[in-house]
Amino acid sequence: MKLLLIEDEKALATSIQNYFQRENFICEWAADYETGIEKVNIYRYDCVLIDIMLPDGDGLDAVRELKKKFPETGIIIISAKNSLDDRISGLNLGSDDYLTKPFHLSELNARVQAVIRRRNFQGNQQIVFGKISIDPQEHSATVARQEVILTRKEYDLLVYLIANKNRVLTKESIAEHLWGDDADLMDNFDFIYTHIKNLRKKLMDKGAPDYLKSIYGVGYKFSES
């Protein structure tokens, strides 16, 4: 998979690049609008991440141009602006998703994967991890062809964990993924623990190995080893 990141903040760009490299994605970086447009015109990308506040141009223009020339490329807007109007105009222009700074890299990763899955396979592709397979259209999960009945939150959690497999996920990022803006309601992270516990139990009941590793004080890691 090939990504393009148009972002003027070098430190943030490096982090994002590193994160995706571990995912075996090629993540190219353009530091300004000019370079970004140039690259878009030369190469083909599966997904473009655009900061709409660039020093030399409006990222929304880039979205517009990209949409016109390469409608099949996925677009995710990253912005420090949470302004609703921006969000709506960004999505109206055809961007697939909108993420407000600051965000968790794991969240970005999950969204990029969702966009690519939707774009490349019209959402039909099964997500497979070890013995687990997920049908994103049906919102259902199976372990060795046996259906696992999951609640909405457990399903979201599972997809998120698989999207960020082999990585340490912080409790905050999980909480924010599951509850969004309400995440600050979590007076403690017991809720996550409950969901994790239930999910693990349901998966293991159907014969899946224990993929979930708890990392003390930090969060969780979903991996086969």
In the complex, the residues that contact another protein under the rule CB under 8 A are: 9, 11-12, 15-16, 18-19, 22, 80-85, 100-106, 153, 167-168, 170, 172-173, 176, 179-188, 190-191, 194-195, 215-219
What DSSP string runs through 86-111? HHHHHHHTT-SEEEESS--HHHHHHH
Q: Which is nearer to another protein, 15 or 41 (CB)?
A: 15
> Dihedral, CA atoms, 205, 210, 212, 214, nearest 10 degrees?
110
Q: What's the min distance (Å) between Cβ of 53 and another protein?
A: 9
d(CA 206, CA 87): 41
- Looking at the DSSP bridge assignments, the partners of residue 51 are 78
Cβ contacts of residue 101 below 8 Å, gap of 6+? 78, 79, 80
Q: Which is nearer to another protein, 192 or 208 (CB)?
A: 192
Q: Which of 94, 87, 80 is nearest to 12 (CA)?
A: 80
Q: What's the min distance (Å) between Cβ of 110 and another protein?
A: 13
Q: Which is nearer to another protein, 9 or 32 (CB)?
A: 9
Q: How many CB atoms lie within 10 A of CB 90?
A: 23
Q: What's the min distance (Å) between Cβ of 22 and another protein?
A: 7
Q: Which is nearer to another protein, 42 or 102 (CB)?
A: 102
Q: How many CB atoms lie within 10 A of CB 70?
A: 15
Q: What's the min distance (Å) between Cβ of 133 and another protein?
A: 26
Q: Which is nearer to another protein, 111 or 195 (CB)?
A: 195
